[in-house]
Structure 1
């Protein structure tokens, strides 16, 4: 029986750079773009002589890359050995498999360990699939002379083959590179594989975690998924990151404060040869001191993402430049971080106030949002009638003001560090977007750069924004906020997507 688990991509709305250091918080929104892992046995029956086997087989298939990779897994030290060409390797899935099998061994009792051993002897057949939103199809669309509209994106077949940037501008072939949109594909992929395998082995039960019934009451199972996914992801990356992308892939939209990096020190030593069984005990016993609080956008607000098409940015090198600047000018950098932190907190506070106002007086809140959705921000206050509506408008305007302060400080930080956190082309585009009717705020997510921009729109204004973006040569993506984290799916997503795609086909 196949197990299918999915995990969402992310948009870091506030906390870029600051989130790398405790106790700074960031607001991270999970999205409807999901990564799927399908796990099933390679063999239905166990061979009679399998009790003597020292190895089992693992097959990893990535249909979007037309790749199939075979591994041998040692049943003694639980390490994978690739037996396919080295080009087809995926370090994130490799580490996810090794750490998950070790965690299952460490957490299951003897009877269940026998069950795990039988499952391993059958071999593992793992398929990974990422929603189209994780990848950029902008070049593909432009090369075919099609308009840069969400409708064209929506018409692409689900889980479309990923186009490669196979040539450098000088015409020479270079290593093919997948063009991504910055939604955290590696974190979502790692998390989906860990979740599917832990459920498959019986180490967790994710049956109550699906997108319709996401119970947060008993999070022990999710906590195990989180710890193993964080560990595997950090080791595959070669560094201990802040972990906000994995946390949102597991738990969904949240306010996040990172864990202390020391919790993974033994895992980093393990890369140098410590047995994974020893490492996993340290990881499971470690003090995971991250903090997360549930968060999602207030009602009647929509998250939009747009691809300006100026090419991606390298987050690690930008982070390196900011750290270098911090060391060279500690006084100025500390002052900028303090201002940025205050602006981040102010935005978070206004979102909380708006959610509370919606709860307390829905009619006044709804009336204001609908009215503001068809006007530019300078007209909002004159549309308000009575103190209840004015309170909503005040919170909206305060949220805008906080976002402008965030952008200003991020821009200054980029200039001081010599990197394009909010490049001039993005500044112009964000200003134009914030000036549109029904736009609450706009910014560059995460570390900034040229990857994408986000906007939060009010009421039904999003379709007008996407049209305006098209005229500005920005491709509006299909991504929206979905506050749910990791989920157990009922079947292969390709079958579901095909059914829904067929039902939406119009024959002219």
Structure 2
């Protein structure tokens, strides 16, 4: 019965693609994706009253965006219908609900009450600049790491003159983290899996979340962002592109009412979520050396259209037949080298005292035999190849303002690399550094004083964890 369905809260992390930009779109190339310690959360609970309506009413609330959406769900037909009074639509919410309900197909006994779904996110997915206090001079904004860390949790987006939320993304993969947390919460809620021992449940959630995210995007992406939201930090190799197009077309046909065979859709969906192996070796374990290396991310507030940039680069690549593609081949080898070096640092740790010593020197002054120097140089080569590939393809993978910022950051003692993560562009800058307070303070000082573009350090740091079921407050 519905009264037995306990409230659940599921969270999923954001991501930072430190190595593998563009190449991760095509197997067998690898991507080194780091899970952020900032998360999207989805809470699902039974509403206090059912009311007289025949269908179940599902209310989705997003306080940070000042938004609410209502849907009605029929347990008889298995269909989800958006309320005509919804002021906006969010495809990642609506299509994730639609596909998840097709898969879970909750019964009338399960849904004898209405549902309330609340979605909220840690601050760093969106620019925190509007929320920062004034600096010591009273006119500038205090853009220091300490000021960002001190902000209250779950800040609401500011509103424009028309009352609409002003949303400036920071490139942490908000749509993937939202989708994964929502799908995970729905699966846990309807399978009553608060204390689940189903070892396959995380993989089922991953597969369903990939399907929902692809459907909401209208295309099959690389999937590394959803994979990070599920599995945390890892080395990723994309799933076969051929897995999802037929299913996505079926979903589209049912959505457009050109095909009413929902049973066939449900069978296909169940098979892809539960029975079909996606790819052996898709997720390979890796971690940053604990307590020694860390990530700092800068909000640049430019914003880039990653999908259109990716299409342009792939079109450029298609103009170079053969196996030895300029920059592409070199990047494949360099990305694999980064993974090898990180694994080596974790499996054969450098003494903490050695990290202390290196944190006081700029990378160019590190000993020639140091694996950190080799890691630094490998990232330098990656930056060069990505920048030149972008110039050849006509895409600003590392725009000149970002180049200047990264170069300046890399002159700070203890910094291994500073680069534009993922697809590049104007979204963000990431810095991999030796995890010592003096290094973090120096990076924060440089970024806080940087004039053009205006940037702001974020509170996000690297972690290992992926999707998790949160403890309920009593």
Q: Secondary structure at the match of 2:327?
A: helix
Structure 2 residue corresponding to 1:302, chosen from 287, 294, 302 = 294
> Cα distance 1:259–1:203, how it changes in 2: closer, same or farther (>3 A)?
farther
Structure 1 residue corresponding to 2:366, chosen from 363, 380, 383 = 380
Structure 2 residue corresponding to 1:239, chosen from 219, 227, 237 = 219
Q: CA deviation at 1:101?
A: 2.6
- Using the alignment, how far apart are the partners of 2:61 and 2:360 within structure 1? 47
Q: Secondary structure at the match of 1:7?
A: strand
Structure 2 residue corresponding to 1:323, chosen from 303, 307, 314 = 314
Structure 1 segment 84-163 matched on structure 2, within 5 A: 84-105=84-105, 116-139=107-130, 141=132, 145-163=140-158
Q: Secondary structure at the match of 1:334?
A: coil
Q: Which residue of 1 aligns with 2:182?
A: 193
Structure 1 segment 330-345 matched on structure 2, within 5 A: 330=321, 334-345=325-336
- Using the alignment, how far apart are the partners of 2:41 and 2:431 within structure 1? 27
Q: Could you say which structure has the higher helix fraction? A: 1
Whether contact under 8 Å (1:204, 1:221) holds in the other structure is no
Q: CA deviation at 1:266?
A: 2.9
Structure 1 residue corresponding to 2:456, chosen from 475, 483, 508 = 475
> Cα distance 1:441–1:176, how it changes in 2: closer, same or farther (>3 A)?
same
Structure 1 segment 372-451 matched on structure 2, within 5 A: 372-381=358-367, 393=370, 395-451=371-427
When normalised by structure 2's length, the TM-score is 0.88
Q: Which residue of 2 aligns with 1:248?
A: 228
Whether contact under 8 Å (1:199, 1:206) holds in the other structure is no
Q: Which residue of 2 aligns with 1:361?
A: none
Q: CA deviation at 1:177?
A: 5.3
When normalised by structure 1's length, the TM-score is 0.82
Whether contact under 8 Å (1:6, 1:486) holds in the other structure is yes
Whether contact under 8 Å (2:29, 2:332) holds in the other structure is yes
- Using the alignment, how far apart are the partners of 1:79 and 1:145 within structure 2? 52
Q: CA deviation at 1:333?
A: 7.5
For structure 2, which runs of at least 5 residues remain unmatched after alignment?
A: 1-5
Q: CA deviation at 1:207?
A: 6.0
Q: CA deviation at 1:86?
A: 4.3
Q: CA deviation at 1:279?
A: 3.6
Whether contact under 8 Å (1:325, 1:333) holds in the other structure is no
Deviations 1:438-496 (A, max 9, x none): 1011211100001111111113122221122212243111000111001111136xx9x
Aligned pairs, number: 448
For structure 1, which runs of at least 5 residues remain unmatched after alignment?
A: 106-112, 168-172, 209-217, 359-363, 382-389, 496-508
Q: Which residue of 1 aligns with 2:357?
A: 371
**Root-mean-square deviation (CA), in Å?**
2.5
> Cα distance 1:86–1:328, how it changes in 2: closer, same or farther (>3 A)?
farther
